[in-house]
Amino acid sequence: MYVVKDSLGKYLATFPSYQEAHEFRMTNGRPDWEVKGVYRPFRRSTDKQRRAVLWTESLVQAKFIGNLENYEDCNKYLSQYFYLAKSIH
């Protein structure tokens, strides 16, 4: 996530990529505007996801290697192995 700030430090817009933020700055003819990357903390997984990961891991021979608190890690693991575990059960 990238934000564009004007010369006074006011936030003008946010963009998913640096290229889009840079193009916005140049389209407006303002190379003095700053493009800054923003840290976005990870999205927390739900209780249902965490239980599903633990259940799937107990049935399938694939060990979960990721952060159990991270939504994206859980979602990626479940999208690969959940239906396999469901078919085994």
pLDDT digits (tens, 9 = 90+) for 13-66: 888 888 998 999 999 999 899 898 876 667 889 999 999 999 999 999 889 988
Cβ(64)–Cβ(82) under 8 Å?
no
Assess if residue 18 is contained within a domain.
yes
pLDDT score of 9: 84
56 shares a domain with 74: yes
60 shares a domain with 30: no
pTM tops 0.85:
no
Assess if residue 42 is contained within a domain.
no
Residue 89 has pLDDT above 90, yes or no: no
pLDDT score of 40: 65
56 shares a domain with 84: yes
Alpha-carbon gap, residue 22 to 27, rounded angstroms: 9
The residue range of the domain holding 68 is: 47-88
Cα three-residue angle 36-41-47, rounded to 5 degrees: 160
User: Which residues, at least 6 apart from 54, have a Cβ–Cβ distance to it below 8 Å?
Assistant: none
82 shares a domain with 51: yes
78 shares a domain with 54: yes
